[in-house]
Chains A and B, each alone.
Chain A
Amino acid sequence: MAVDSLRGARKVGRYTLLVSLAVVVLFPVYAVLLQALKSGPDSLDHPRSLLPVDLTMSTIRAAWTKGNMGRLLFNSAITSLAVTVGVVFTSLLAAYAFAFLRFPGRGALFVTYLATMLVPTEVTVLINQRTADSLGWMNSYRGLIVPSLASAFGVFLVRQVFMQLPNELREAAALDGVGHTRFLWEVAAPLSRPTLGALALFTFLGTWNAYLWPSQVIRGDLSHETVQIGLERLRNNDIDKVNLVTGGLVIAALPIFLMLVAFQRQLVRGLTAGAVKG
């Protein structure tokens, strides 16, 4: 951290800069939030007022019912939770195998795992949609959840942590006759809790925000749509009431934004896991 101490004018200058940039970054959010809090006719005024006056919850309420937001949020929540649990679970198992078990081809297999991180969704979605269809998983929770239950990134992350556990730990446990399974669940996993928490948060966020795969597997079944697709449907169906869309946006983005504020530290840890020092 730089050591220069800011005095007087420089401090004021820096604060001014920070505030103005914060305003610029937040402006889109503020504008949309404001529009969502205005009633229908008000939101079409020319010139638009940027002041928080004449606020009402009517638009948000209308968006909630028209857009079936309750159901959408529920679907997204279920999907994201299930995938998060699944990813953490499968990543723990696989990472343990790569970190503590010896078997032929371990190196090559790990590289293959890493390689799958590079395959974009655009390629896999085509065939996966047909696979899901032949399994009868279209328009269902299974279709939304199962394909995402494993993550090479998760395996990479957790293995990273496991590799940093001191060897003596494993050796001591082996001397005590502790098998692999017990070691995993009673020693290795608890010690990796911060990283697991970061992975969980990161996975939850990614699943909540996913667009391409849900749009391919949920087709027209309103009861299974996630928030992201529901938003698009809201926009297409009510194009003449754009402020309804803003109401939907606020409802959709609020849960995640609150999560961000609450779990900021874990989120940062999750995102930086691959960045700093490779």
Chain B
Amino acid sequence: MMTMKRNSGWMIVAAAVLAACSGGGDITDSGQDATTTVAASTVPGDTAATTTTVAPDSLPDCPTDALDSATGTVEIEFWHGMSGPLNDELVRLTDEYNSSQSKVRVSLVQGSYEETSDNYLQSSQDGRPDLVQTPEYMVQSMLDTESTVPVGKCIDASGYDTSTFVPSALSAYATEGMQWSMPFNISNPVLFYNKRVFEAAGLDPNKPPASLDELRTMSQKIVDSGAAKYGIAVESGFDSGGGWYVEQWFCKAEEFYLDNDNGRSNRATKVLYDNATGVELLTFMQDLLKDGLAVNVGDNSISGYDNLLKMADAKEAAAMTINTSASLGPVLTVLGGGQFPNITGDDVGVAAMPGPDGKPGALIGGASLWVVDSGDDVRTAAAWDYVTWLVGAQQQSEWASATGYVPVRSDAADLEPYKTVLATDPRFSVALAQLEASPEGPTSAGPVVGPLREIRSVLATAVAAIFEGADVATTLADAAKQANGLIADYNSRNS
């Protein structure tokens, strides 16, 4: 026993010494001996920094006609992050492409968004695919890999017509004057609400709340009438209620989320969400919870469906929730299975996400297609050919109707089957309308910065704390500080 006591004694002393030496701090601050230089101006509110443009000559070319000279079938690999019914439809479209021509054969590799992005970043040149789908928060990281062929070059080289594309879909994936990737599946968050509950509460089921204030008054009415236990179910997932929706609200408020025009005119250096708008917004959400008008279902990390399931809850349901428009298709499929007696497919109403003062607009969510620079012209051209198939008007019409994603081009709405879908179920048109209603201006392009996902994760943790009653201003300030550290660290390593 003496031996053990002596050993643990030393260990305790050592630990104490260690702890006293250097303070805690975030793990990502480790190894910061050199002072990091910050590029653009840091004056608060000064977001009009000089725009830098990328020199096109320094980037790989896109030889779109190389396919003509190819002999035999070109095999290319596409890594994507679609799962469930989304995956089923992608498989179907790809099979159709493969069988409709014999020049290119595409093989699919499925993962989650995180897996696909991580795998791409961690693979060497030989291990990379020819085409990869990465989510919208990966823009800066992807272009910093310096491993892709900018889609803008392909568009120019082949004279591809993008005039019918939704403008914000393209601009979401362009920075510093260059179109990096091709939007493929776009979504934005919409309000899901239970029409049956609205009727029971004496509200017009066709007039859901458009502003945050209306959200509050209608929730009050619903709770008071007993039609449902809660007005709205909120969650703090990083790619939804805790992170992404906050960016959406900033877009609706026509405010920047990051400096340097949301990181699009130059590399972003800090976040702006700890300003008055952010504090007011999250205080509002916190008050909803405190007054019992909203219920917090947690961070939604395991299934991503917790808030929707709360609407279908047998005893303590919520009347509304916010979720991505892309889930409309899967939701209706699941409800059609009859598992939930309280809410059927017909009861579900969809409307624009309520925002500050009811102002409209939304940022692009979803993912885009990046053509990888394999060094082989033929494979690059083949990947581009497949890309043009996936964003063709007919395919986008089919893709949108099967998945609930918004088509990236408005002429898809004139073709079957999407035309009929819109005509028979106008719920599917809400997301597109919300997108088209975005105000013109740089705030509608959404934030671009290297560690965007980690920043959202940090904010989501802060939002979770706020939902549990923490002080809004200090929590946001702490989160902003950590986020700025992440940005500075990323910029020092990658620029």
Interface flags for B97-129 (1: CB within 8 Å of A; 0: not) read: 000000000000111100110010011101100
- A5 part of interface (Cβ distance < 8 Å): no
Q: Is the CB of B124 within 8 A of A134?
A: yes
Q: Is the CB of B334 within 8 A of A240?
A: yes
Residues B336-354 near A (CB distance < 8 A): 338-339
Tell which of B116, B119, B123, B303 touches A239, judged by Cβ atoms closer than 8 Å: B303
Q: Is the CB of B302 within 8 A of A133?
A: no
Chain A residues near B79 (CB, 8 Å)? 220
Chain A residues near B115 (CB, 8 Å)? 219-220
Tell which of B109, B110, B124, B314 touches A133, judged by Cβ atoms closer than 8 Å: B124
Chain B residues near A139 (CB, 8 Å)? 109
8 A–B pairs (Cβ distance < 8 Å), ordered by A: A129-B122, A130-B122, A130-B124, A133-B124, A236-B112, A237-B83, A239-B304, A240-B334
Q: Is the CB of B123 within 8 A of A220?
A: no
Chain A residues near B339 (CB, 8 Å)? 40-41, 44, 240
Residues A166-223 near B (CB distance < 8 A): 219-222
Chain B nearest CB from A185 CB (Å) reads: 40
- A138 part of interface (Cβ distance < 8 Å): yes
Chain B residues near A133 (CB, 8 Å)? 122-124, 126-127
CA distance A129 to B334 in the complex (A): 38
Chain B residues near A46 (CB, 8 Å)? 314
Given A133-B127, A136-B126, CB of A220 within 8 Å of CB of B84: no
Q: Is the CB of A222 within 8 A of B110?
A: yes
Q: Is the CB of B111 within 8 A of A219?
A: yes
- B305 part of interface (Cβ distance < 8 Å): yes
CA distance A130 to B124 in the complex (A): 8
Interface-central residue, B127, B303, B314, by most chain A CB under 10 Å: B127
Q: Is the CB of A136 within 8 A of B112?
A: no
Chain A residues near B338 (CB, 8 Å)? 41
Size range of the interface on A? 20 to 34
Size range of the interface on B? 20 to 34
Chain B residues near A138 (CB, 8 Å)? 123, 127
Chain B residues near A134 (CB, 8 Å)? 124, 126-127
CA distance A262 to B124 in the complex (A): 45
Residues A97-118 near B (CB distance < 8 A): none
CA distance A220 to B80 in the complex (A): 9
Q: Is the CB of B109 within 8 A of A220?
A: yes
Q: Is the CB of A220 within 8 A of B124?
A: no
CA distance A46 to B112 in the complex (A): 33
Tell which of B83, B109, B116, B127 touches A236, judged by Cβ atoms closer than 8 Å: B83
Chain A nearest CB from B76 CB (Å) reads: 15
Chain A residues near B83 (CB, 8 Å)? 236-237
CA distance A238 to B338 in the complex (A): 16
Chain B nearest CB from A238 CB (Å) reads: 8
CA distance A46 to B334 in the complex (A): 20
Tell which of B119, B304, B334 touches A219, judged by Cβ atoms closer than 8 Å: B119
A sample of 13 more A-B contacts (CB under 8 A), given A129-B122, A219-B119, A240-B303, is A133-B123, A133-B126, A138-B123, A219-B115, A220-B79, A220-B110, A221-B109, A236-B83, A238-B84, A239-B302, A239-B303, A240-B305, A240-B339
Chain A nearest CB from B137 CB (Å) reads: 20
Residues A133-149 near B (CB distance < 8 A): 133-134, 136, 138-139
Q: Is the CB of B302 within 8 A of A220?
A: no
Interface flags for B46-64 (1: CB within 8 Å of A; 0: not) read: 0000000000000000000
CA distance A191 to B435 in the complex (A): 75
Residues A232-271 near B (CB distance < 8 A): 236-240
Chain A residues near B109 (CB, 8 Å)? 139, 219-221
Interface-central residue, A130, A139, A221, A239, by most chain B CB under 10 Å: A239
Chain B nearest CB from A220 CB (Å) reads: 4
Chain A residues near B126 (CB, 8 Å)? 133-134, 136
Tell which of B116, B127, B304 touches A136, judged by Cβ atoms closer than 8 Å: B127
CA distance A240 to B127 in the complex (A): 34
